[in-house]
Structure 1
């Protein structure tokens, strides 16, 4: 794989699921090189949870494997409410702030999905914004569609399909045992796909929205 990546930039953009994939890939690739000292994070960082972006350089191959934090692919925002107090919103009409930094990468892997199940996003009350307008209430699937449409238009307009490969990773329903991700649930002991239909959920509705948006993109934009 490093030979295939020689001289290229491989970039992951999205939430913690893409970060996990990025971390795993960096570890696997670093473990395969002859001289691990020639693999290093561009800014010398040792912890990978708090910064907006990370880039591992594989010097002998002149390639990088990078991650940009963008859990919604559109911009998290702040604006004053009627009392002048800043409140958080999500700009459905603006692609993520880091987009100019990776639009010329050779391979770009996007994902989003699970953050849209959190309380503010799932309820959609006084949170979603387009231009100066903040919706009193907006269904999460419609907000998700608007955000993905913004992302898709940006890809069509800014990423050169003759140079870059673009992938979008879908997602599955949560599958923790013993609780949810933030209440003691875990899935790290699983080694095979779940086959018991009792535990299988229906195809996530947001994935249907995603598929429809992808079909509307220009040919060759997405792999």
Structure 2
């Protein structure tokens, strides 16, 4: 049965004017109707084609916790009845050959910590630089420095965390070097690392914290326990975070070191200790959960904070003998693993699950207050990159360094993926607004 447009309108014979006038009116209404449809479809299509958030996958050995983000599609498209969903899980895929190689080198004269400058210190192989992450259901666009800087023009971004957070920030600075170089304004502000992109009025910072919560005099030695106050945030980052537009927060392997836990001024437990101090239930996992809960609640309670909070998930170390990252071992592989060749396990798996649970709780609370929480879930992609660590190539050969570095990531290297995905997340939020 064919649909006649005239059936949708009042009887055209009753319309005023001559027959010619009636025909002209009908044609004008038809043209307006046909013009509205493509405009509407153009507005919603970008959000239906690419959706960055993770979903549960029962077929893969590393099953990511289920998080329902359907409300975000409804909010973006402006229709709660929208049922069309084409999800691209940017965090599930494979590493595929990429002969063109990295975006930059150690000679690009960007900021690279010596301990991650693998090419400078003589790493003999370069194949680890010639792989690219391919999500299962879509293509990840190459990093576009000019696009990134335009999206963050007039804004500020803080990486809150330890040296792995700095690792990601330095990767971002190197990726942006193809467009412009920032000014180091740390000395002017007399504070932690701050970089300023003058042409874009964009501030980039690394706010150092080992555990997110108060850890006075935290000790680098692995044999000496440090004291954590689990119910009080680390003010070294919390005191200045309120003005930032983007906050990428992370924490992980420092919790594997010896620690004493305090709450309400009293010692409640410890890690890697014995005797009366060790109390049942107040273990490393309790401390890790409480640290993230304290950090998220701090962000939720700040009266003037309107920024986007992004949780960057924990990564596995790849010590060859599978002992803890703080023990002797190496990570001497030269190419990625195939999917399924290695499973996330042990302490890192438990810490990852805690991160996911605390993130979901913070996101639910954030929606009530109009605050956005997003997930940069790089745990699975990086699980497949044991070849991406400095290993013994973060220092000169004559320097006596007892342990290989199987925790941080060479620059350039697979850590650049984190910022490729970060760009897409910032882009999506910009479009959604």
Fold similarity call, TM over 0.5: yes
The SS at the match of 2:239 is: helix
The SS at the match of 2:194 is: strand
1:178-203 Cα deviation digits (max 9, x unpaired): 7856646246844x355353x43337
In 2 relative to 1, CA 102–196 (structure 1 residues): closer, same or farther, beyond 3 Å? same
Matched, 1:207 2:345: no
The SS at the match of 2:216 is: strand
- Pairs within 5 Å for 1:15-34: 15-33=162-180
Give the structure 2 partner of residue 130 of structure 1: 263
In 2 relative to 1, CA 63–182 (structure 1 residues): closer, same or farther, beyond 3 Å? farther
- Pairs within 5 Å for 1:58-207: 58-77=197-216, 88-98=226-236, 99-118=238-257, 120-121=258-259, 127-135=260-268, 136-137=277-278, 138-158=282-302, 163-177=306-320, 180=325, 183=328, 185-186=330-331, 189-190=334-335, 192-195=336-339, 197=341, 199-202=342-345, 204-207=349-352
Give the superposed CA RMSD: 2.7
Distance 2:332 2:231 in 1: 35
Gaps of 5+ in 1: 46-50, 79-86, 122-126
In 2 relative to 1, CA 193–7 (structure 1 residues): closer, same or farther, beyond 3 Å? farther
Distance 2:256 2:229 in 1: 17
In 2 relative to 1, CA 74–55 (structure 1 residues): closer, same or farther, beyond 3 Å? same
Query: TM-score under structure 2 normalisation?
Result: 0.42
Distance 1:40 1:187 in 2: 36
Query: TM-score under structure 1 normalisation?
Result: 0.77
Distance 2:304 2:332 in 1: 38
Which structure's CA Rg is the greater one?
Answer: 2
Gaps of 5+ in 2: 1-147, 218-224, 269-276, 375-433
Distance 1:193 1:44 in 2: 42
Shift of 1:116: 1.1
